[in-house]
């Protein structure tokens, strides 16, 4: 499988199409509901207080050309104070639909990892940015954790708690599949349309 190094260029994103399987390498940021709400309300729609400005600059650097992962990990704290990931499975992404397009555009995001796909606002942002949605393997949390080679940092741990904190991790050969691309294609839309057509056919045949 081809490998992509983060930060990812526009050209590399445009070269991806739905169905492509790739390995991701580099630093990614974990973010779920609390993180997305915080990013939008603090840095996009709001004016960050002085105490948040430095973190905002760090996140802007991390996310520019970068990837955000919808994941609530299981972690272990080592004796030396460092962290290790025990499990790192994807969270259902559609919950972030109300925020994701804003985060993609504001932070120059190039990839979103999760499961289940997202809807029209995110797909439109992927075309304009460009960016892609990467589908991670649900039910393989322990396997995915093996791709996490280092916990670089963690933000908002005390405020958000372990599952919702913004963990910054370095990954090697993180396996994902492109299911929404920058050309307007979405496997999730295709599956839904096919399912609705099949249901209609079954109802007619009754």
What's the Rg (C-alpha) of the chain?
Answer: 17
Beta carbons within 10 angstroms of residue 23's beta carbon = 16
Strand-pair category, 21-30 with 67-69: parallel
Asked whether the beta carbons of 27 and 170 are under 8 A apart, the reply is yes
For residue 40, which of 62, 58, 56 has the smallest C-alpha distance?
56
Residues annotated as catalytic are 36
């Amino acid at each position: 499988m081809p490998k992509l190094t983060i930060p990812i260029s526009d050209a590399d994103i445009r070269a991806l199409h739905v169905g492509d399987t790739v390995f991701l390498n580099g630093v990614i940021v974990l973010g779920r509901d609390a993180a997305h709400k915080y990013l939008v309300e603090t840095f996009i729609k709001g004016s960050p207080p002085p105490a948040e400005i430095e973190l905002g600059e760090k996140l802007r650097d991390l996310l520019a050309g970068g990837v955000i992962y919808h994941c609530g990990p299981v972690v272990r704290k080592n004796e030396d104070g460092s962290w290790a990931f025990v499990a790192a499975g994807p969270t259902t992404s559609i919950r972030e639909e109300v925020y994701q397009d804003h985060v993609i555009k504001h932070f120059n995001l190039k990839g979103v990892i999760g499961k289940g796909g997202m809807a029209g606002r995110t797909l439109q942002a992927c075309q304009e940015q460009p960016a892609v949605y990467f589908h991670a393997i649900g039910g393989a949390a322990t396997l995915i954790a093996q791709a996490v080679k280092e916990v670089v940092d963690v933000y908002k741990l005390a405020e958000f708690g372990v599952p919702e904190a913004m963990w910054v991790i370095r990954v090697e050969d993180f396996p994902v599949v492109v299911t929404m691309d920058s050309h307007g294609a979405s496997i999730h839309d295709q599956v839904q349309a096919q399912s609705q057509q099949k249901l209609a056919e079954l109802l007619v045949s009754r």
